[in-house]
Chains A and B, each alone.
Chain A
């Protein structure tokens, strides 16, 4: 019921939205919860386990009950707190976890069976028969699980991620935070003040305090205005600081347009911030505790502070007849504020026997609430009086104040444990728990407005503060009612009762972690903000220990849940990872290429022509060009590293198994690199361009790894070597020109002869292509007479077009990765399919490449016995007559069962060569000694067994006559 103006409400602005299909009218400034309360709707949700009717309990982000699905279609967002969601015109809200309706929920039957569904009951049943778990029991449990539902579609709208840096981060804009921000802001510090609420003020606009001679809410407005005027202060509202991380870095989520019907152009739905702060003040306030009593979960029973928040902020009285139940002086103010607004207060019930509230209201001290009534909302309650006897009290709202819990959460994110303070019966932050962070005000257990202001000013350098109330809270701990029947709820969302804690104790789940995990206390969406203390207190009673000895569970980030989409920002869909395109990409597009992803690169896989409908038809044609005429292929993606300086030789000798220092200028050598543990890391070529100048290539996959490792070797292992190197992968476009006509092609292009005297096999030649200086290497990955021609990348597109034209004229053309793969398998050349990190130089037949004359990375460890010998699997070729071989098939002896004991090896690469038939490269135990043996390639996944023969891995031109041309 709206009873007066609220400080946040624009009474003139009507906002229309719907809940469960019914139109609801609120006012601009309302939250969903305040709008519903204004419309006298107390029932706002159903609990998780028993589907009990539940109403709103809080006025903040810690709300466990009033959760809704907001939006429709792909925009549907589940588990939205009605206490946080601001209403907007056209907003669509739905109740969740209820069927067929919020008022009549079929699964409320669970509540009738609750005696059989006590804490952890599911661990003790659903075990027989074994097969029924997946088939029957679990599907039923899963159907009942969860709260709200995902739409199944990608979210609507974008989310951003951003960085912010400041001298002083202030978390929370209540009296402590505001005072600190003003004090620091006036001194010129770079201040960032973040508050999860829609504006600064905190409880200053939820109470009827005076501050500096004016209403506290007005003072807050003035303070906020001053902060807005300071250029060195950044105010971030609707921004929850969610986590404390190392390096004085904080995570924060800003709700940029969740409260708007549609985001302004270009604005995200929300932004996830990483804030780096030299110093941080945690001024996050405190959460009011509930008290457990029988049926304390009925809609209408809520925090006393929330009742005051709704009254002052939204002008809403959560009931027409309100009773107050408190164990501290703070609760009394609820009576004053309600009465001042003309709301009937039916009783003030104080658990403390010896207090004199002095309010003009029916007051019962030393009393407890022992029963409540009302199916979908509170109607009345019974209290027990000191010395016995019950009283009936009529109330549709009960404001409960069980004392305050400082919001210690962020101070626990780096494993700090909070400290118990008996005087306020609460945990406070451990100083220094988060480096650079200090808790102030209510977050530090200083509950009065005066204390908060003082702490804020002092933490920011000191200064004057305005006059404010300084009333003590005077809390006497009271956790739950004893000696009465009925379920007393602790965790309102997960339906955990005092009795569940007792059962955990009875079954010896007494450690605080066992208690939590067994009963699910504190595991709901509020992460125990409302429930944990009650549970700890009950366990403390049962075990006869003080509360701090029971301990606390760990608060972990985030402080409030963050949309997954916000944490992802824009780095998803096509932007999950960068795309890398080759210099020939434009031409490949024009030629209709299909692509294969190689790391981040998109490489042309084949270029279809004419009537070709499968990749194999195109690839076979391209293979034919290379074997019969000439083919051109973009190999730019191979890592290229330019190494210069007098120390280049020594560095490369250390890196490669072979001796690169003896390589002659103008020559190229194949090189193998090991990891320090002796296994093969990568292979490639090493060309010597000058006395102190080398260019090496790596595989596409290992380019980054090799570069970083070279940095390590040069900076850490050999810091005195005079050598410098850079990656030039992206600076040089490089194309393979392969086939018997490759020399003719290049001679035409370069207008010079290229016979063996000019450029022998494994030679390097600087060339001019018109005005462009290029590099020509005579190397082959196909087994044919072949070259690789490199030019600065900006000429790559022009060059590949020229090369293609000239290849066409000679009866060839472009070839892609599929053809390249067939060509290299035919020749027995390896890729990372073979050197997959578990093979040795010896396994691939390159044992002799480890130079005995020098040290190199991995040399010593490569001599371990396990890296040699006949029991290892060695690289072989396989040839089949009937049926294509497939990579991943395992090798068995003929007639042997396909079992783990009989496993002889596996195929790494396979192809059907247009000329040589079904081929594969494989690792087979002692394979080099088994050439000629008939084996079976067993592929259980595809249900095939292909007979094949172990052969040399080089299927064609074993002596390399073609390459040497």
Chain B
């Protein structure tokens, strides 16, 4: 069923009785060409692009809970392509282009809103680092502007330009960055994949792998054994756990990242602003809630919830940089489990087990990567070749030393 303004009008007249299910609830088949483990953002986009780009539709997405219930359903919805290092730069650039055409591609309004991402700088050293990053973005074909303090003031006059511990010296503005409606991204891709024949199977937990002679044959699930030609894992946050069932040990730790939303407020913050010195970022949703977040809680966790020290730190940084939010009330906080890799960059690669592929280690870059990740993972699954935008996300880069360490903090997952 195609969606449009006219359709909404027509259905409104008919009492909205004609809307059809957005996806089926198929029973698992005994065998698929490809099984994707994980019905979050990356799993759904992978299935979608397998069908769309490669014509592979005998595909199942196995989801332990509900579709879109992974980190695609619990993030701060920021989309950007402002990476420093070759390897990441071309990938996020590719992904951003997919975001820009997403609504039309999916016939689903994911509310991708390019109102800009502004990173604040407070020292010459930071300005120099932003200059290097901004030039990398331009070289990659993306947009970047280096603002001085007056430029920042013109773009975001609500920031604290007085009595501030770290005075604003300037900032890096990425106008094509912005936010999207996170749930809608999952639902839009799910609907698209379903319509091309992909089986989206909810409440189906993978409990083991069947591996024979070094080749994966299928997966054991809470709904029985399902055979597969190839299996792709897209279970960021739980990658270590799922991979362990296949006997793999990975350069990944799971950590909790908290985020917070305020009560609904009249629009006052147009785009995304990040205050790196305070590990703070903020945006405002189309519904009116201020969405803000900070750094990891720093300890390994699968609990999907955090503690007060980071919460308080985020609010302190927020008050320091955007004092007017002090009168807003924090409505809800939550935690997502992050696949923190050893160099802060993701993995899209084969595993040592034939037919078993890995998509993970997204740290907190996973949401913006959603379309690009699926596109490149589908490419690898379908063709056996690395997509040109994702050639460096290799699992063996830690052995060889070809790491992608954006933060320059080394093999410390909680510092990326």
Query: Which A positions have Cβ atoms within 8 angstroms of B?
Result: 48, 76-79, 115-118, 121-128, 130, 133-134, 138, 141-143, 145-155, 159, 161, 243, 245-246, 249, 251, 272, 274, 413-415, 499, 503, 506-509, 511, 513-514, 517-518, 520, 524-525, 527, 554, 556-558, 561-565, 567-569, 571-577, 579, 596-598, 675-679, 681, 832-833, 836-838, 861, 864-867, 886-890, 898-900, 903, 906-909, 938-942
CB-CB nearest in chain B for A832: B125
Q: Can you show 21 pairs from A to B with CB atoms below 8 A apart?
A: A123-B110, A125-B3, A125-B7, A134-B114, A149-B268, A150-B324, A150-B328, A151-B327, A415-B304, A514-B68, A527-B331, A556-B305, A564-B325, A568-B319, A573-B160, A576-B320, A577-B166, A866-B397, A888-B132, A900-B86, A900-B89
Q: List the one stretch of B16-24, B47-55, B355-363 in contact with chain A.
A: B16-24
Distance from B173 Cβ to chain A, minimum over Cβ atoms (Å): 10
Distance from B291 Cβ to chain A, minimum over Cβ atoms (Å): 13
Q: List the one stretch of B217-225, B237-245, B402-410 in contact with chain A.
A: B402-410
Distance from A907 Cβ to chain B, minimum over Cβ atoms (Å): 8
Contacts of A562 in B (CB 8 A): 329-330
Quick check: A556 and B165 within 8 Å, CB to CB? no
Cβ of B212 within 8 Å of any chain A Cβ, yes or no, is no
CB-CB nearest in chain B for A679: B410
Question: Quick one: which of A116, A153, A942 contacts B146, CB cutoff 8 A?
Answer: A942
Distance from B348 Cβ to chain A, minimum over Cβ atoms (Å): 18
Quick check: B146 and A145 within 8 Å, CB to CB? no
Contacts of A518 in B (CB 8 A): 183, 187
Quick check: B16 and A889 within 8 Å, CB to CB? no
Contacts of A886 in B (CB 8 A): 131
Query: Which B positions have Cβ atoms within 8 angstroms of A?
Result: 3-5, 7-9, 11-13, 15-17, 19-25, 65-69, 73, 86, 89-90, 101, 103-104, 107-115, 122-125, 127-136, 138-141, 144-146, 158, 160, 163-166, 181, 183-184, 187-188, 202, 262-268, 278, 285-288, 303-305, 307-308, 311-312, 315-320, 323-334, 397, 399-403, 405, 407-411
Complexed CA–CA distance, A41 and B401 (Å): 71
Taking A251-B308, A503-B16, A507-B20 as known contacts, 12 extra A-B pairs with beta carbons closer than 8 A to each other, sorted by chain A number, are A122-B111, A125-B4, A138-B111, A145-B266, A148-B263, A150-B324, A561-B262, A562-B330, A564-B329, A679-B408, A887-B131, A909-B128
Question: Quick one: which of A77, A143, A147 contacts B327, CB cutoff 8 A?
Answer: A77
Question: Quick one: which of A508, A513, A890 contacts B135, CB cutoff 8 A?
Answer: A890
Contacts of A127 in B (CB 8 A): 3-4, 103-104, 107-109
Quick check: A890 and B136 within 8 Å, CB to CB? yes
CB-CB nearest in chain B for A242: B330
Question: Quick one: which of A78, A556, A833 contacts B125, CB cutoff 8 A?
Answer: A833
CB-CB nearest in chain B for A907: B132
Quick check: A133 and B112 within 8 Å, CB to CB? yes
Complexed CA–CA distance, A573 and B145 (Å): 27
Distance from A959 Cβ to chain B, minimum over Cβ atoms (Å): 30
Distance from B12 Cβ to chain A, minimum over Cβ atoms (Å): 4
CB-CB nearest in chain A for B162: A573
Contacts of B123 in A (CB 8 A): 596-598
Q: 9 closest pairs, A vs B, by CB? A: A837-B408, A888-B131, A866-B401, A146-B288, A864-B401, A565-B326, A561-B329, A154-B323, A508-B21
CB-CB nearest in chain A for B290: A564
Contacts of A677 in B (CB 8 A): 403, 410-411
Complexed CA–CA distance, A939 and B129 (Å): 13
Quick check: A837 and B264 within 8 Å, CB to CB? no
Complexed CA–CA distance, A272 and B319 (Å): 15
Question: Quick one: which of B103, B320, B400 contacts A133, CB cutoff 8 A?
Answer: B103
Complexed CA–CA distance, A35 and B410 (Å): 61
Question: Quick one: which of A134, A564, A898 contacts B262, CB cutoff 8 A?
Answer: A564
Distance from A249 Cβ to chain B, minimum over Cβ atoms (Å): 7
CB-CB nearest in chain A for B187: A123
CB-CB nearest in chain A for B66: A511
Contacts of A678 in B (CB 8 A): 401
Complexed CA–CA distance, A646 and B202 (Å): 64
Question: Quick one: which of B23, B132, B141, B401 contacts A906, CB cutoff 8 A?
Answer: B132
Question: Quick one: which of B19, B141, B307 contacts A506, CB cutoff 8 A?
Answer: B19
CB-CB nearest in chain A for B24: A508
Contacts of B331 in A (CB 8 A): 525, 527, 558, 561
Quick check: A866 and B327 within 8 Å, CB to CB? no
Distance from B128 Cβ to chain A, minimum over Cβ atoms (Å): 4
Given A77-B327, A146-B265, the answer on whether A568 and B332 have CB atoms closer than 8 Å is: no
Distance from A699 Cβ to chain B, minimum over Cβ atoms (Å): 12
Distance from B346 Cβ to chain A, minimum over Cβ atoms (Å): 17
Contacts of A675 in B (CB 8 A): 410-411
Distance from A631 Cβ to chain B, minimum over Cβ atoms (Å): 20
CB-CB nearest in chain A for B306: A245
CB-CB nearest in chain B for A890: B135
Quick check: B132 and A887 within 8 Å, CB to CB? yes
Distance from B381 Cβ to chain A, minimum over Cβ atoms (Å): 26
Given A150-B265, A154-B323, A866-B402, the answer on whether A676 and B411 have CB atoms closer than 8 Å is: yes
Complexed CA–CA distance, A867 and B399 (Å): 11
Distance from A822 Cβ to chain B, minimum over Cβ atoms (Å): 13
Distance from A572 Cβ to chain B, minimum over Cβ atoms (Å): 4
Quick check: B409 and A940 within 8 Å, CB to CB? no
Quick check: A837 and B22 within 8 Å, CB to CB? no
Quick check: B266 and A150 within 8 Å, CB to CB? yes
Complexed CA–CA distance, A459 and B16 (Å): 53
CB-CB nearest in chain A for B3: A124
Complexed CA–CA distance, A597 and B402 (Å): 33
Given A508-B23, A568-B312, the answer on whether A145 and B268 have CB atoms closer than 8 Å is: no
Quick check: A573 and B165 within 8 Å, CB to CB? yes
Given A122-B109, A127-B107, A517-B73, the answer on whether A573 and B320 have CB atoms closer than 8 Å is: yes
CB-CB nearest in chain B for A555: B332
Question: Quick one: which of B266, B304, B333 contacts A558, CB cutoff 8 A?
Answer: B333
Given A118-B16, A154-B326, the answer on whether A141 and B308 have CB atoms closer than 8 Å is: no
Contacts of B139 in A (CB 8 A): 890, 898-900, 903, 938, 940
Distance from B137 Cβ to chain A, minimum over Cβ atoms (Å): 9
Complexed CA–CA distance, A940 and B146 (Å): 10
CB-CB nearest in chain B for A49: B287
CB-CB nearest in chain A for B399: A864
Distance from A428 Cβ to chain B, minimum over Cβ atoms (Å): 21
Quick check: A572 and B323 within 8 Å, CB to CB? yes
Quick check: B401 and A939 within 8 Å, CB to CB? no
Complexed CA–CA distance, A833 and B127 (Å): 11
Complexed CA–CA distance, A832 and B123 (Å): 13
Quick check: A115 and B286 within 8 Å, CB to CB? no
CB-CB nearest in chain A for B169: A597
Contacts of A159 in B (CB 8 A): 326
Quick check: A149 and B266 within 8 Å, CB to CB? yes
Complexed CA–CA distance, A138 and B113 (Å): 8
Interface-central residue, B20, B122, B328, B402, by most chain A CB under 10 Å: B328
Complexed CA–CA distance, A886 and B128 (Å): 8
Complexed CA–CA distance, A524 and B264 (Å): 8
Contacts of A243 in B (CB 8 A): 308
Distance from B82 Cβ to chain A, minimum over Cβ atoms (Å): 13
Quick check: A597 and B122 within 8 Å, CB to CB? yes
Complexed CA–CA distance, A906 and B139 (Å): 12
Complexed CA–CA distance, A142 and B271 (Å): 12
Complexed CA–CA distance, A509 and B68 (Å): 11
Distance from A796 Cβ to chain B, minimum over Cβ atoms (Å): 24
Contacts of B333 in A (CB 8 A): 556-558
Question: Quick one: which of B17, B131, B304, B323 contacts A155, CB cutoff 8 A?
Answer: B323
Question: Quick one: which of A78, A832, A909, A941 contacts B138, CB cutoff 8 A?
Answer: A941
